[in-house]
Structure 1
Amino acid sequence: MKSHMVALAIGTAICALSAPALAAETAPGGNSEIVVTGTAAAQQTASATGLPLSVIDTPQAVTVIDQQKIRDFALTNVNDLLDTVPGVNVERIETDRTQYDSRGFGITNFQVDGIGLPMLDSTLVYGALDTALWDRVDVVRGANGMMTGVGNPSATVNYVRKRPTQTFQASVTASLGSYGEQRIEGDISGPLTRDGSVRGRLIGAHEESDSYLDYYSVNRTVLGGIVDWDVSSKLKATVGYSRQQNNSNGVLWGSLPLSFSNGQQITSYPRSASTSAPWTYWNTRNQSAFGELSYDLGHDWKLKGVYTWNRTQYQAKLLYAYPYADQTTGLGLTGFSGIYPADYQQNIFDGYASGPVELLGRRHDVAFGVSTGRTHTKEWAGESDATIDYPSIYELGQTIVPQPNYSDPYLAADIVDTITRVYGSVRWNLADRLKVISGFSATWLKSTGSSYDVDQSRKNSKVTPYVGALYDITRNIKLYGSYTSIFNPQSQVGIDNRRLDPATGNSIEAGAKSQWFGGKLYASAAWFRARQNNIAEYAGTFGPGGAGQEGGSYYDGVTATSQGIELEVAGKVTNNWTLSGGYTGFSLRSPDGSRAFTYIPNHTFKLSTTYAIPKLHDLKLGANVRWQNGTYYVDTGVQDAEGNDGVIRQNGYAVVDLMASAQVVDHLRASLNLRNVGNAKYLNSLSGGQAYYAAPRTIMGSLTFTY
């Protein structure tokens, strides 16, 4: 391993070995294992309403991926984690840009501890975000107009930070896997003063790996630190900082063209095929810092203020292949390349108060707040001096595309987005069995600046209402329903490189939630319907001389209605048997009744399960299964001999992952994760008419030391 991997391991080990004196002062004989407590139905999240409600008391579909599941299935990056969430589809469009969908629409709202701005610059996530910093991940499906103000009726993903603990604990995990994968992760937490009023946590991870794809490799480092300070019995201060550096070489920008020039689908690519070259790269740095003050006002009222600074920077040298190859010779692809630095900075302020009120002899819960955020987007472009001719697609991986020369990058986009929100919600305790939640979010959005000499200025505002209700049929079963309107300012541009107007619409959800075995097992069934007007649908790619960046996408505004059902289960069947997963089935239709966004699967099934045998060295066995139906993409850029548009298809497929772990000796646990056991070969996403193949069967072994 590299020297910094060794340094991280040694540093964590030294901290662990030097800790007995401190541990003896704070928690003699205490359990050092970092765990998530609470039953499946009782786990609390404020991600949907701003109120600290349990999952079963939230009138929307909510999935919680806890720390235990992250560990069991080695979900070390966000893509793999969200792959396990019912109703969420991970569109791996390129190696280093990913889009997430739910209920047929793109996910644009990502939060950390409930704080965040929607992704106004794009629906794409850059790099493979590491999960080392997160204690759990909450996913609220459907529109979330109350807590975000804007967004698609898809889902909101809330990453919940690991926080300092009252007692000392430490862990270090070392892993080796297929394609030279090496990973080490350390986590140390505990009091920094004798009285425990100041606590800290330090987290680090490093991973590097080659790939099954030609030329591709990844080197990723994550560091995070957080400190809690009990200033007084009522006032608490928290500060934290994190940084992730994701360096990738041989990256895909765009993917494999999937149609021949005669409109026939290309099915002869090997799984390793790539249109990239070893001289390409995409290096992404994500930084975040925050400061938080919370004050206990008494009578169960709390006040909190949070400032968050986020910055994403990348340096990229990219290569894009287009349009279509001849079926006989494999020739016909052309490439263009460029250097594309970028810098995105965010400043977010959020003030929030919550507590109970007494009215008509009953206690009701209230939450309200105000937030304002500013995102500054700067993108540069340096174009290559020559058009690139590709070899035959039958020779990909054998002949390296030559690197061209580049002009100095110029500032191509400079945009400032400002969002201000005022929001509030009340949980009305109308009767012992009936609870109603009402709320609103008033949003003001302003954008200034230009992109490739096209003005991107806009002003939008909207008041988004929210109402939800829950009724207890029995002690274990609740009926629920919710409604919210949709307001989604969009960053996507049309063929003229001007931003599309905001998407609007509404979202309705109704269903039943239940808990069993003393709340250990949670089950839900939901029906949903969402309609959006003017939502962006991919329409093409800018070429040389276009109004936008070469290789950039342009879109049309379309209307689509999503309607379907979701079934979910999570928790423990017995003390040793856990279960989580669900089924989602929906139709996504245009006004004429045709299927919209056909590259998105509309039937998916996901199930994760583990079984522990404590008497056999605490042996744990598990499996993770996901299945989706077939998808297709109509490529209007190419036609067959009869003049019909080309059609690219991906048949339905299933992927099975297995895991096993056992306690070797005290404080040391060994685990094994086997992914894609059946070695299924499938395309990651058909979005845009290009794609690359998913990973084959892989294996990873890990050793974890905990104190």
Structure 2
Amino acid sequence: MLLLAGAGCASLIAAPALASDAGSEARDKQANDILVTAAKLKQAQLNESASATGLDLTLRETPQSVSVIDRQRIEDFALTSIADVLDQAVGVNVNRNETDRTDYTSRGFDVTNRQVDGIGVALQGGVQFGDLDTVLYERVDIIRGANAIMTGVGNPSATINYLRKRPTQEFQANASAYGGSFDMWRLEGDVSGPLNAAGTIRARIIGAHEERASYLDYNHTNRDVGGALLSVDLTPDLTATAGYSHQDNRARGNIWGALPLVFSDGTRIPYKRSASTAQPWTYWDNLDQTAFGELAWKLGGDWTLRGVATYHDLKSNARVLYASGGDFGPDPVTGQGVIGYSALFRDRYRQYLLDGYASGSVEAFGRRHQLAFGVSSGWAHETDAEGDASDVIDYGDIRQLASLRIPLPTYAPIEQQARIHDHLTRIYGAAHIDFADRLKGVAGVTAIWLDTTGDNYGADAARSNSAVSPYAGLLFDLTRHLTLYGSYTDIYNPQTEVASSGHRLDPAKGTNIEAGVKGDWLDGRLYATAAVFRARQTGLAVFAGTFDGTNGNGPIGGSFYTGQTVTARGVEAEISGRVTDRWLLAGGITHLRLRDDTGEAARLFVPRDTLKLTATYQIPEWHDFKIGANLRYQSQVRGNDDSNGLAIRQGSYATLDLLAGLHLAPHLEASVNVRNVTNVKYLNSLEWGQAFYAAPRSAVGTLRFSY
């Protein structure tokens, strides 16, 4: 059951990258050419917005909001996990509900859509287990709003598109060593280039090893990541690529369920920032392995055809401990009343994906128009096994967690609890229509068929769903620098979340309307956008509680949900690019209003106002000395403590990260990153009713060799 909400997330390292090698080669250029921004698409030959429509469009030509976080920013700010990357993404909220389960929201809704190089990864949820490492990726695109064309199913929130590193035509190599707070150290390397003189055979080897303790009691994580890719030009027009990647995440002393937050009288429980409900004997290991093959064929003119086959295997092995405040919460005088549940889990998720995709342009009515269409099919097989502890676990005075030592419980034999089989088929297509010199249109449609069989903790998991989702957009060039746009799409989400009965919820149905203005200046080096949007979903899964063995048909510690209609309205503004040759700027603001079908405020754990701003400034004359900062702000949020339903709040807060770096030698640079400089103390997320505190001030130093 640990994989149920989102086991497919780790399949993101499954598919091959389709981006141009220019994204890798750009890293060897001078500092003023390093950053690949949204406004430099044509120069860098990067198809930034294919992730939204499948069409070869610039961001200004795409009638949706799209953000890009490239390799340079990842390296500048030492962003070794995808959660750290998305912390800097405009309009995205990272919910660290536990140490090893994270999810994301955008425009008020859960982000369940994933892509690899613009190809939708089917049959997945929105929860990330462990950390997803960044070493395998060249950059990350975030497409806000619904994205029915390229993913087929999901919420009108956002789509995260991971663009993989690929073998390069020219030899390149880099290696980095990190060291930082909480006994963190990391080594990573990346070697790429041709294997023959003609450059028709190319390979890339990528690897990383990271170990870190934590500010949290008992917590420690080891992570090994590796990838190998081989590309062969079978003919000048036909290229085959194959690869393998793995990510082995081993966590000890991991939090499961997090801290009960309030006493029975509604007052907050006073915890240290290091407080944890875990014990040294808890662990959670996730081994993710993927093999893939791809054929890319230039058909003539600008038409291309790609076929991708992927096999993904995710194994999870865990011994976890969940703390519950009971029906009323712990006593405010004695601190007594928190009880624990422990279990062993052995889960496995296997996925098979096939995708065929064609794109190109046609001449009609005296103008050139672009087309893209494809078909995909995915199969997923999930098995969950569990063995519950028979011992009664008493946390005693919850205020004394640091001194608590719970003996290792006795567990029942591990038995299979769930076996689920999914099959999803999609047909999709899109067109970019050139109506006039200043007027363009984008239209598309996707059709899905989903069948599920199996059982989930005694409940029948069978379902059979189908849907058709349209997409339509218009763009009008006001001036040489400004474009007005509007778009509409609906989207369909066969949800993986279950009700308290153990049965899956009915599919959620959503619509998304967006309108705004986009612009670029300084020869395309600076890009900005502002948008208003309205997203609505019916039957949306909303967290309703946690199984504790007495309140439903599901695994202890697992979550159950109820369906709700939610409407989101808001505005966003973003800027990205080079203000000068030395000054890079990226960031934006989001304002939201979320209401349920009765008009009441909904999903109160989602901040209504957020600000994210990143800037770097480089002085080439001083050994390429670089300084930078990342500022993040969010307004207050509210939730209900899972034990007693009493309201809890996290006030608004802002965090500041700083960086400084320079070149020590022609191929060697050093940098230092300081995070949460002002040492703000805040809870990570109130989504699940229980929470733990975010990290205090910390630092990491990096030495990087590049050739």
Fold match, TM over 0.5? Answer: yes
2:281 paired residue number: 279
TM-superposed deviation, 1:637: 5.1
Q: Distance in 2 between matches of 1:339 and 1:378?
A: 14
Letter in 1 for 2:407: P
Whole-angstrom distance in 2 between the partners of 1:234 and 1:538: 50
Match of 2:243 in 1: 240
Contact 1:472 1:478 in 2 (8 A): yes
Distance in 2 between the 1:432 and 1:337 partners?
65
Are 2:225 and 1:216 equivalent residues in the alignment? no
Shift of 1:505: 2.4
Give the 5 Å matches for 1:324-403. Answer: 324-403=329-408
1:112 equivalent to 2:110? Answer: no
1:13-32 counterparts in 2 under 5 A?
A: none
Q: Is the 8 A contact 2:642 2:688 kept in 1?
A: no
Question: Is the Cα–Cα contact under 8 Å of residues 371 and 432 in structure 2 kept in the other structure?
Answer: yes
Counterpart in the other structure of 2:306: 304
Rounded to whole Å, the distance in 2 between the matches of 1:70 and 1:31 is 17
Equivalent in the alignment of 2:10 = none
Q: Can you list the C-alpha shifts for 1:489-527, whole angstroms capped at 9, x where unaligned? A: 111111111111000121101100000111100000011
* Cα offset, 1:227, TM superposition: 1.1
Give yes or no for the alignment of 1:535 onto 2:537.
no
Q: CA deviation at 1:149?
A: 1.1
Contact 1:33/1:169 (<8 A) preserved: no
How many residues align? The count is 671
- SS of corresponding position for 2:53: coil
1:446 corresponds in structure 2 to 451
SS of the residue aligned with 2:39? coil
Q: Which residue of 1 aligns with 2:188?
A: 185
The residue that corresponds to 2:507 in the other structure is 502
Task: Please say if 1:418 is aligned against 2:416.
Answer: no
Matched, 1:646 2:646: yes
- CA displacement, residues 157-177 of structure 1 (integer Å, 9 cap, x when unaligned): 010000111111111100110
Shift of 1:104: 0.4
Deviation digits for residues 636-673 of structure 1 (CA, Å, limit 9, x no counterpart): 752xxxxxx51100000000000011001121100000
- In the alignment, residue 353 of structure 1 is paired with which amino acid? A
Aligned to 1:568: 574
Indicate the residue corresponding to 1:175 in structure 2.
178
- Give 1:32 shift: 11
Alpha-carbon deviation of 1:34? Answer: 13
Residue matched to 1:486:
491
Report the residue type matching 1:653 in the other structure: Y
C-alpha deviations, 1:362-390, integer Å up to 9, x for none?
A: 11000011000011111110111212111
Aligned mate of 1:552, from 541, 558, 574 = 558
- TM-superposed CA distance for 1:310, in Å, is 1.6
| Matched residue type, 1:420 | T
What is the aligned partner in structure 2 of residue 683 from structure 1?
683
**Where do 1:287-302 residues align within 5 Å?**
287-302=289-304
Q: Which of 211, 230, 235 lines up with 2:233 in the alignment?
A: 230
> Amino acid of the residue matched to residue 259 of structure 1?
V
Deviation at 1:119, TM superposition (A): 5.0
Shift of 1:115: 2.6
Write out per-residue CA displacement over residues 303-360 of structure 1, whole angstroms, 9 at most, x where no aligned residue: 1111111221110000000022111111110001000111111111000111111111
Specify the code of the residue in structure 2 equivalent to 1:681.
K
TM-score (norm 2): 0.93
- 2:39 — aligned with what? 41
CA contact (8 A) 1:141 1:156 kept: yes
Per-residue displacement from partner, 1:50-90 (whole Å, max 9, x unpaired)?
11211111110000100110010011100100000000000
1:69 to 67, 70, 73: 73
The Cα shift of 1:594 comes to 1.2
Q: Which moved more, 1:33-42 or 1:301-310?
A: 33-42
1:698 maps to what in 2? 698
One-letter code of the match for 2:632? Answer: R
2:8 maps to none
Paired residues of 1:32 and 1:706 also in contact (CA < 8 A): no
Partners of 1:635 and 1:196 lie apart in 2 by 60
Question: Which of 615, 619, 624 is the matching residue for 1:609?
Answer: 615
Does residue 51 (structure 1) correspond to residue 49 (structure 2)? The answer is: no
8 A Cα contact 2:107 2:568, kept in partner: yes
Question: What secondary structure does 1:53 align onto?
Answer: coil
The one of 559, 572, 578 equivalent to 2:584 is 578
Question: How far does residue 123 in structure 1 lie from its aligned partner after superposition?
Answer: 2.5
SS state at 1:403 partner? coil
Whether 1:256 and 2:259 are equivalent positions in the alignment is yes
**How far apart in 2 are the matches of 1:344 and 1:179?**
32
Q: How far off is 1:140 after superposition?
A: 0.3
For 1:31 and 1:508, locate their aligned partners in 2 and report how far apart those are by CA, in whole Å: 40
| 1:661 partner amino acid | G
Q: What SS is found at the alignment partner of 2:688?
A: helix
Identity, % of aligned pairs?
Answer: 51
Secondary structure of the corresponding residue to residue 90 of structure 2: coil
State the match for 1:194 in structure 2: 197
One-letter identity of the residue aligned with 1:257? P
Query: Which residue matches 2:20?
Result: none
CA–CA distance in structure 1, aligned partners of residues 31 and 524 of structure 2: 23
Q: Distance in 2 between matches of 1:679 and 1:38?
A: 32
Say whether residues 1:599 and 2:602 are aligned partners. no
Find the residue that maps to 1:47 and give its secondary structure. Answer: helix
State how far apart, in whole Å, the 1-side matches of 2:277 and 2:192 are. 45
SS in 2 for 1:413: strand
Shift of 1:391: 2.2
> Retained in 2: the 8 A contact 1:573–1:579?
yes
Partner SS for 1:330: coil
Q: Distance in 2 between matches of 1:119 and 1:213?
A: 33
CA 1:661–1:134 in structure 2 vs 1: closer, same or farther (change >3 Å)?
same
| Whole-Å separation in 1 of the counterparts to 2:99 and 2:32 | 32
Residues in 2 aligned to 1:35 and 1:95: alpha-carbon distance in whole angstroms: 37
Output the amino acid matched with 2:562.
D
Deviations 1:130-155 (A, max 9, x none): 00000000110000011111100000
Q: CA distance change for structure 1 residues 688 and 242 in 2, over 3 Å: closer, same or farther?
A: same
In the alignment, is the contact (CA less than 8 A) between 2:632 and 2:654 conserved in 1? yes
User: 2: CA distance between counterparts of 1:424 and 1:287?
Assistant: 30
